[in-house]
Structure formats: structure tokens, C-alpha cells
Amino acid sequence: MIIYLVGFMGSGKSTYGKMMAEETGYSFIDLDQEIEGHYKMTIPELFEKEGQDNFRIIESQVLKGLILNENQIVACGGGTPCYLDNMSHILDQGTVVYLKYFEKELVARLENDDTERPMLQEDETLENVVYKLLRKRAVHYHRADLVINPELVPPAELLALLVANSSQ
């Protein structure tokens, strides 16, 4: 089974995906790390150099170029499912799980996060940026096969749920 984790920045896709891989024996790919490894730049550097539109094309190319095995978990970037035909692609390739938090929870998580995030480098408050981006992206995220709050569904429980649903 190939599982794609999607959700807003700061929703824990990488952390949750790694925990899930450790608990299940699945292998784990972080799309952002794949992009950074391929281009030898951080996501913020690449975003700044290429601009958002070109970055999204690069992101889509790397996503579609991933060589996946049968038991794989892929953590996508926060914007990955929202551009080009990425969400349709991942829905065709595997099971997509949206790690959902509400705006206030995301703001609290991002306030305590020291990761440099290009989409947050605006002249607006964190609350406004999160609100606007989440409103825009929610329609894409909600196309996922399953929507969960990662604090309520432990990684091993998620896999058991996905396996049970796939056999029905």
C-alpha cells in the first residue's frame, strides 16, 4: 500500500509519516527532502530562486518521478496537492490521508516551529496567512481518501484502518 500524507504546513506530515514507518516497517519519503537532495538547495532557497510558479512545477516533477515500492509512506509538502494535477496523481497512485488541524491549532504549532517556511514570509500576521491559505487549500485537502486528526489517531491505528478499508 502506498500512503500519501497531505495537510497544511506544520500539521506534522513528516513527523507522523516517520513514526508510522517505524511502527509498520514501511519505508518513508519526505517530498521536500527529495526536492532538496535533487536540487542541492533548501526549499526556501529554491522557492526564492525560482519563484512560486516554477517551484510548483519542480515539486510536481519530483513527485511524479518518485520510484515507489509496495509499502511506502510519502509526506507531501503543504502546497503539493493544491497545484497542477498533483492531487489527482496521488489519488491515482495510492491512498491519500489528510492530517487536519483547525486554524488556531495550526497557528499555535507554527508559532513554536523554527522551520523557515516561504509561504509565511509575508507582511501579514501568521493568523491571517494561515486563514487565507487554509481557505484556499481546504478544497484540495478534502479530496483525500481519509481525513484524520493526527493527535486522535496513532500511526499504527491509521495503518490498521487503511488495511481494513482496502480489503472491503
What would the pLDDT profile of 53-69 be if each residue is shown by its tens digit? 999 999 999 999 999 98
The pLDDT, as a whole number, for residue 113 is 79
pTM of the full predicted structure?
0.94
Query: Which H, E and C letters describe the chain, residue by residue?
Result: CEEEEECCCCCCHHHHHHHHHHHHCCEEEEHHHHHHHHHCCCHHHHHHHHHHHHHHHHHHHHHHHCCCCCCEEEECCCCHHHCCCHHHHHHHHCEEEEECCCHHHHHHHHHCCCCCCHHHCCCCCHHHHHHHHHHHHHHHHCCCCEEECCCCCCHHHHHHHHHHHHCC
pLDDT band, very low/low/confident/very high, at 34 (cuts 50, 70, 90): very high
| pLDDT per residue as tens digits for the range 67-110 | 998 899 999 999 999 999 999 999 999 999 999 999 999 999 99
Q: Is the pLDDT of residue 123 over 80?
A: no
| pLDDT per residue as tens digits for the range 131-149 | 999 999 999 999 999 999 9
- Per CATH, the architecture of 2-156 is what? 3-Layer(aba) Sandwich (3.40)
Q: Where are the chain's structural domains?
A: 2-156
